Amino acid sequence: MIRLRSNTQKSLGLEVNGPVFWSSIFFLVVSISLVLVFQKSAEAFFSEVQAAITTNMGWLFIISVNLFVAFCLFVAFSRFGSIRLGGKTAKPEFTTSAWFAMLFSAGMGIGLLFWSIAEPINHLQTPPLGEPGTPAAARQAMNFTFLHWGLHAWAIYALVGLALAYFTYNRQLPLTVRSAFYPFLGERIHGVVGHIIDILAVIATLFGLATSLGFGVQQIAAGLNHVFPAILNDITTQIVLIVIITGIATVSVVTGVDKGVRILSEWNIRIALFVLVAVVLLGPTVFILGSYVQNTGSYIGNFMQLSFWNEAYSNTNWQGTWTVFYWAWWISWAPFVGIFIARVSKGRTIKEFVLGVLIAPSLLCFLWMTAFGSTALRETLAGNPAIADAVAVDISTALFIFFEQLPFSTFLSVIGVLLVTGFFVTSSDSGSLVVVSLTSGGNPNPSVGLRVFWALAGGAVAAVLLLGGGLQALQTAVIVTGLPFAIILLLMCYSLYRGLNEEAEEEAKLGQTQERKAYQQLVAEMLAKRAKKQDAGLPEVRKDNPVQPNPDTL
């Protein structure tokens, strides 16, 4: 068993991994300062880099993400599938429903609320193939929407989560990204190479959280203004929202995963399911159910073609704007979501873990996308331009314009605002916990001060970027990190396979040894029984009545 090594030290009264903690703060401050000072130049630079990556390296993203799907399914249904995270006697720390709620809230959450409407409408109006605004374009729109939010996205998270959970709970290594590379880096994960890996993960997570929180409060403010016109959608409202969300997230982080994060995630799922059921019942119910069956079947039937299509014979850059952008975004978020999923998945077998992370969230995403996306497409094709116009002007209001097409629209809009806020809080608190884990050397019980520090830091960065501009530039920078992380994740596949194979071989040798011992024991018992039976067949010689010899034989 690998011995856990601690790299922590006391800094500012906090127990942290010094190189990772201070380097992350340094790069965070320098990066934010450069983005604020050179906002336009930074935005143009990162946009050019992003365009170059999506144009020239799109094929690498497509191959990589497909390999992640194949690898996850392979380990689930191979001899490794029965390995339990935490050992043979480990038990899940959370119920299946709580586990699902937490991984779904961290993995998708807020994106579904807006892109479930905006993405299908965009694909309807600008399809990669065929004529826009047609039923065929609508069917194609749902195919690509399912592709972007289905198995491929969750396979990225499942890979990172599984690797970190395995090396943490089965090899007793810290819950940090570096631990996943122990099979070929060895003790070097505790040195400079390991520090660099964790620093990259911290920066990507913080930037992703800051940009999501910054854009998110703009969406919440737009929704509040739409429902309650007296509330202005201005910078003051947005800063107030950041303070509120950060405050709630800080309390949740301090109380820990088993209390704050779990409770908030479960309530988010309850509210989301309520909204989903309301849309299905109040909307075109039969159409939604029929579309769900058709959309899912079409996705499965066209899975291979959708997965490997890369615009080789066209030059529209549609895929660079959508599919490759999504793969880069999910990959850049993989350290954050993967660490959090690993944190809450102890006690589950690898097969249970992979199928739970891949299948259940994908099916819920498909149902949500159908209820909102297919209904929005139906309204648009029927000649109602309201939803499409909202998407064109401001996607933040599309959800609330959608609710206006249903009965009880005001009530649904209020619930929608609560749900948007709830998902942002859970993203913020789970992201903060991940950064805490990375900067504390994987400490399972980090100090309260460190939790508060990073929760407040995420909100502060978002507020600074809102006030000074630079959100778009920073978001583009996050996408750019997807390329190096794609390569890191490919190496992670190899490392995880080596680790699992080593354990399987050790188990096989142990099994052979146990079988040999059991066989030897069985043989010994059989010989003992035979000897006992032979002894029982001899005449008994007693001292008080000895057997006399037969005189006829003398």
* 204 or 514: which leads in pLDDT: 204
Domain that holds residue 353: 11-210+286-390+467-532
Check whether 3 has a pLDDT greater than 50: no
Residue 240 CA to residue 221 CA, distance in Å, equals 10
Average pLDDT, the chain: 85
Which amino acid does the sequence have at 264? L
Looking at residue 215, what is its pLDDT?
Answer: 75
Question: What is the percent of the chain where pLDDT is above 90?
Answer: 38
User: Is residue 1 very low, low, confident or very high in pLDDT (cuts 50, 70, 90)?
Assistant: very low
User: Is residue 181 very low, low, confident or very high in pLDDT (cuts 50, 70, 90)?
Assistant: very high
Looking at residue 75, what is its pLDDT?
Answer: 96
Question: What is the percent of the chain where pLDDT is above 70?
Answer: 90
Check whether 254 has a pLDDT greater than 90: no
Residue 443 lies in a domain: no
Residue 433 lies in a domain: no
Lowest mean pLDDT among 117-121, 420-424, 525-529: 525-529
Looking at residue 142, what is its pLDDT?
Answer: 97
Q: Could you tell me if residue 441 is left (phi over 0), alpha (psi between -120 and 50 degrees) or otherwise beta?
A: left
Residue 243 lies in a domain: no
Lowest mean pLDDT among 396-405, 488-497, 504-513: 504-513
User: Is residue 2 very low, low, confident or very high in pLDDT (cuts 50, 70, 90)?
Assistant: very low
User: Is residue 258 very low, low, confident or very high in pLDDT (cuts 50, 70, 90)?
Assistant: low
Return the DSSP state at 549: P
As for how many domains the chain has, the answer is 1
Mean pLDDT across the stretch 533-551? 57
Check whether 125 has a pLDDT greater than 50: yes
Residues 324-351 pLDDT 10s: 988 988 888 888 889 889 988 999 999 9
Lowest mean pLDDT among 203-212, 221-230, 365-374, 486-495: 203-212
Number of residues that this document lists for the chain: 554
Residue 448 lies in a domain: no
**Strand duo 14-17 + 8-11: pairing:** antiparallel
Residue 216 CA to residue 387 CA, distance in Å, equals 20
Contact in structure between 427 and 333 (CB atoms under 8 Å):
no
Residue 502 lies in a domain: yes
Residues 404-421 pLDDT 10s: 999 999 899 999 888 888
| Helix boundaries (H) for 375-481 | 375-381, 386-393, 398-403, 409-439, 448-468, 471-480
Residue 115 lies in a domain: yes
Q: Is 15 helix (H, G, I), strand (E, B) or coil?
A: strand
Check whether 151 has a pLDDT greater than 90: yes
Looking at residue 91, what is its pLDDT?
Answer: 92
Looking at residue 511, what is its pLDDT?
Answer: 62
Looking at residue 385, what is its pLDDT?
Answer: 93
Residue 27 lies in a domain: yes
Residues 448-458 pLDDT 10s: 888 888 888 88
User: 486-520 burial, b if ≥16 CB within 10 A, otherwise e?
Assistant: bebbbebbebbbebbeeeeeeeeeeeeeeeeeeee
**Highest mean predicted confidence (pLDDT) among 34-43, 207-216, 294-303, 519-528:** 294-303
Residue 552 CA to residue 62 CA, distance in Å, equals 101
Looking at residue 373, what is its pLDDT?
Answer: 96
Check whether 4 has a pLDDT greater than 50: no
Residue 405 lies in a domain: no
User: Is residue 143 very low, low, confident or very high in pLDDT (cuts 50, 70, 90)?
Assistant: very high
* 1 or 358: which leads in pLDDT: 358
Q: Is 14 helix (H, G, I), strand (E, B) or coil?
A: strand
Spell out the SS3 assignment of 526-548: HHHHHHHHHHHHCCCCECCECCC
Check whether 216 has a pLDDT greater than 70: yes
Looking at residue 370, what is its pLDDT?
Answer: 96
